[in-house]
Structure 1
Amino acid sequence: MGEEVSDRIIEQRWRNRIIEAIEVLARGNEGLIEVNYNEFFGGFYDYWHEGHLLVRPNSAITEEEERTIDALGQVLEAIRNETRHFQSEAEHLQSGCAERIKPVAQYALKLLVSRGRFSEDHEELSPSSGEVKQP
């Protein structure tokens, strides 16, 4: 039987996964090439949908961080709608969509990592490190 984890640890892990998804977006074209178009957006959409975080409230995310993540999501939605008709990875790269997302994602990433990352193993009131430890 698996070990029980608290809601708080789950929220801490979600925050860390959101940071990882934003790291890809913050690399712009490099991130798009690295993971492909579907995962470029999909990695973020695993945690954000229809205008807000999927896990809310999330005690590991501040109100300011949530607003910034939501703003990034709105930018992604607009660009995704604009590029729906594209048929190839090359069209996405040529459109500059990933590079337009990049500065917004970099701002969100800077805000999130300025507080650090939470432990994956035990509850913390504030982030303890810049590194994510996988469970």
Structure 2
Amino acid sequence: MTEEPSERLIEQRIRNRIYEILEILADCDAGVDLVGIKGYFDLFEDFVHRPAIEAGTSALSRDERVIVLEIAEFLEAACETNADFTKAEFIESDWPGKIAPTARNARELFLHRGLFSEKVEEVEPGQPAVMPAAR
């Protein structure tokens, strides 16, 4: 029987998924081609609007949270411009080109700290929350 992951471990995994989505957003038009128009908006939305992120209690640092929410605002503005974009219309609108630089900055910010473990709770990437007992 497998153990359910802790809330902290889930938050670490979500931060890692957000990083992966930043990779897609940073790829500009190629990112839209990779996941399609729905994926481009929905992937990010699925992970960002969580109570822990909005409350500032997730595995995101304060600066990471700020830039991730900034990207969410970009995506919301793009969607408000035309909620029924086709992939071609969205690329032609240059929204991916407007979003990509901020996504690249966010990606660098995430990599500055590194990615979290998917299996062990960590205070910071590479720093386990509980040190194993010495033998």
Given the two structures, how large is their TM-score scaled by the length of structure 1? 0.84
Aligned-residue offset at 1:91: 1.1
Aligned-residue offset at 1:14: 0.9
**Unaligned stretches of 5+ in structure 2?**
127-135
SS in 1 for 2:122: coil
The share of aligned pairs that are identical, in percent, is 37
Structure number with greater Rg is 2
Paired residue for 1:102?
Answer: 100
Mapped contact 1:24–1:32 kept (Cα < 8 A)? yes
Q: Relative to total residues, which structure has the larger helix share, 1 or 2?
A: 2
Aligned-residue offset at 1:124: 1.1
Q: Distance in 2 between matches of 1:83 and 1:106?
A: 24
Q: Which amino acid aligns with 2:104?
A: Q
Distance 1:17 1:54, change over 3 A: farther
Deviations 1:22-43 (A, max 9, x none): 1111111010001100001111
Aligned-residue offset at 1:85: 3.9
Given the two structures, how large is their TM-score scaled by the length of structure 2? 0.84
**Unaligned stretches of 5+ in structure 1?**
129-135
Mapped contact 1:12–1:120 kept (Cα < 8 A)? yes
Q: Which amino acid aligns with 1:29?
A: D
Q: Distance in 1 between matches of 2:121 and 2:97?
A: 36
Paired residue for 2:130?
Answer: none
Aligned-residue offset at 1:109: 1.2
SS in 2 for 1:55: helix
Aligned-residue offset at 1:54: 3.9
Mapped contact 1:47–1:54 kept (Cα < 8 A)? no
Mapped contact 2:18–2:44 kept (Cα < 8 A)? yes
Q: Which amino acid aligns with 2:76?
A: E
Aligned-residue offset at 1:2: 3.0
Q: Distance in 2 between matches of 1:126 and 1:13?
A: 13
Return structure 1 stretches of 4+ with deviation > 2 angstroms: 53-59
Distance 1:25 1:48, change over 3 A: same
Q: Which amino acid aligns with 1:122?
A: V
Paired residue for 2:43?
Answer: 43
Aligned-residue offset at 1:46: 0.4
Deviations 1:69-121 (A, max 9, x none): 111111111111113243x2111111111111101111111111111100000
Q: Which amino acid aligns with 2:95?
A: C
Q: Distance in 1 between matches of 2:83 and 2:60?
A: 31
